[in-house]
Structure 1
Amino acid sequence: MDRKLKLQEKWYWIGAAVVELILFISSSMTYKQQTSIPFLERHLGSNSRPFYSLLKGIGFQYGDKYQSMKNDGYFNFLEFFIRKGAHFGTYFVLGILLCLALYTYFKGNVALKIFIPWMVATGLAAFDEFHQGLTGGRSPMVEDVILDSVGALTAILITLLILIFIKKHQKKHHPFSMEY
């Protein structure tokens, strides 16, 4: 399995670079260029409001602002969840790619297989927020870096668990395999 990952390593690095390029382009856009509210209003209209009853009871502090449907309105609050889901999801994908790209560098050291890709993803998240701060109408948030970092760490842990499971399964079914 390690040999197979090593052969595919360049593709994981390319995938990580593509994700980072998308993030760089995204953080270069102003909020007005990026907002999904007109799309949501156009496609959900004023009558169809999915998750309305669920969302109306939710409120919490995120950064220096209290987020709630009462404070923000339905479409802004829904967009908040979409945007934060995109943060988590994008760094989840980046976490998988970095974990697989760096996997063979730390033979036998599970701690480094977790820590290094996580720190790379967290550093990229911090850089992305810094870059976003240079864009008009956008503000960098430590909370977004934390959310990104948690997305990457979640992906890394799941990826490593799957790889460990695969390795044990291969060992069990191919005890004389030289791939370990």
Structure 2
Amino acid sequence: MQILKKYKWLWGALAIMLILFYSSSMTYHQQTSVPFLEKYLANEPLKGWLSQFSFTYAGTVESVKTVGYFKFVEFFIRKAAHFGTYFLFGLFGYLFLQPKLQNRFITMIVTYLAATGYAALDEFHQMLTGDRTPLFQDVILDSLGALTAILLVMLFSRRKLKK
């Protein structure tokens, strides 16, 4: 039991890596949330508000008009999942490495590079999976999620040290 507690941040990072690997092994049709959204958001709440937004992501125009309401909502869910999982990966990785490396800047660099490298490998894995589109933009989004967590934990730990 002591080993679980001692390495809790490592176990968290490894769990995220396994979840990401499993997710990347699934085709788009296996993991799409559109049928769920069609069932539970059938009355299309916020459609009028969301319809005013349009932007280009990875060379594709994303809007309610171009992809439809449910795919537009799903787009945000999928991108939030990218950012969120790598946020956790960066957080767990930093918290695990900090006591070992004992240098906040080196820990930040190593954790960021590890997260970005894993994001690139994850997109490569998606390329090998049928019905998936690997995107460089997703690697950027993933690395920003990890960097956000790293910077936040550094900020809060610095404040804690000052008190």
Task: Tell me which interval the TM-score lies in, with the shorter structure as reference length.
Answer: over 0.9
1:38 to 35, 38, 46: 35
Match in the other structure for 1:75: 70
Match in the other structure for 1:62: 57
Stretches of structure 2 that go unaligned for 5 or more consecutive residues are none
Task: Supply the distance in 2 between the matched residues of 1:14 and 1:94 (Cα, whole angstroms).
Answer: 10
Percent of aligned pairs sharing the same letter: 50
Task: Supply the distance in 2 between the matched residues of 1:82 and 1:54 (Cα, whole angstroms).
Answer: 17
Query: TM-score by structure 2 length?
Result: 0.93
Match in the other structure for 1:100: 95
Q: Deviations over 1:115-165 (max 9, x none)?
A: 110110000100111001110000110000000000000000001111111
Paired residues of 2:51 and 2:64 also in contact (CA < 8 A): yes
Runs of 4+ in 1 over 3 A off after TM superposition: none
Alignment of 1:28-177 (within 5 A): 28-45=25-42, 47=43, 49-107=44-102, 109-169=103-163
Give 1:112 deviation, angstroms: 1.3
User: Rg bigger for which structure?
Assistant: 1
Give 1:20 deviation, angstroms: 0.4
2:15 to 2, 15, 18: 18
Name the SS for the 1:61 alignment partner: strand
RMSD: 1.4
Name the SS for the 1:137 alignment partner: coil
Name the SS for the 2:131 alignment partner: coil
Paired residues of 2:94 and 2:150 also in contact (CA < 8 A): yes
Query: TM-score by structure 1 length?
Result: 0.85
Task: Supply the distance in 1 between the matched residues of 2:127 and 2:104 (Cα, whole angstroms).
Answer: 35
Task: Supply the distance in 2 between the matched residues of 1:9 and 1:116 (Cα, whole angstroms).
Answer: 20
Give 1:9 deviation, angstroms: 5.2
